[in-house]
Amino acid sequence: MTEVILHNYPMSHFSEKIRQILAYKGIPWRSVEQPNLMPKPALTPLTGGYRRLPVLQLGADIYCDTSCIARRLERLQPEPSCIPLGQAAMVTLIEEWADHRFASQVSRRVVADLMPALPPELFADRAAMTPLLSKEAILRDAPHTLAQALLGLDLLDGQLRERKFVLGDRFSLADAACFFPVWFLGKSARLSEEVAKRPSLAAWFERIEGFGPGKLTPMTQTEALAIARDSKPEDPPESRELAVDFAPGAAVAITADDYGFEQSHGTVVRATADEIAIRRQDAALGEIAVHFPRSGYRIVPR
């Protein structure tokens, strides 16, 4: 089986979402540590410009955004499943809330607490992604983001009072999506006390944290790039749900619609209602296929 390579860094809370899925499924994986600031010279040749982490690499196929990554891992190893039968829509709705609203409120509040210890260049880098992450905006919004984050904790604690996991007795993608903001909350000693105040939430958190790091082996950036260079993108699987708005061969530019607006350019090889894959040519690596979810991304003809 092609090695599962995750480009991430230790403090990346979105990466923690995927790390827990890998641990739960027992998938052996290679960890490539990338910088948390631009430039990212060993990442952008793979993605064509996309800078956010984590990024999943399977040979010369690159998967951007945790939504796309999680579903690729589900196809790669269906059992144990992270998307319960008949619950795909509910999983997606919870994931959207956790990834965008809950994670945003938590992360900005934690950064406000950690601000004295963080380097100034971090705020310049994040402000370039979105004005909401400037130092001034984070401090201004701190009371509001705390109140909103606590509402999220209360919602989760209530949901978990009569079940082990968010949707029942088994871990799912909904749990992974809700876990990583709570995990990041723990980076502030003061805010981590808020989890302990909510017994059902605290017990759930310990359950998932007990998965551990999974079957992890480090890999260097150089090794990962060599694998991409020496591989070819997989042929896209056949699908009866192909979208009609972007035909194979169409030249497009893809960028996130919320923050981090670097574009990835390429030609469409497959587009469905949920995902789009483009192929691009890198001068050093050759042909690369880059995969994005449709939700949350602007796709425009070039």
pLDDT digits (tens, 9 = 90+) for 256-277: 999 999 999 999 999 999 999 9
pTM for this entry: 0.97
The SS3 call for residue 19 is helix
Looking at every residue in the chain, the average pLDDT score rounds to 96
Alpha-carbon Rg for the chain, nearest whole angstrom, is: 19
pLDDT digits (tens, 9 = 90+) for 82-137: 999 999 999 999 999 999 999 999 999 999 999 999 999 999 999 999 999 999 99
Q: How far apart are CA 17 and CA 181, in angstroms?
A: 9
Element (H, E) at 216: strand 216-218
Query: Would you tell me how many other CB atoms lie within 10 Å of the CB of residue 264?
Result: 24
Per CATH, domain 88-209 is 1.20.1050.10:
yes
Domain boundaries, the chain: 88-209
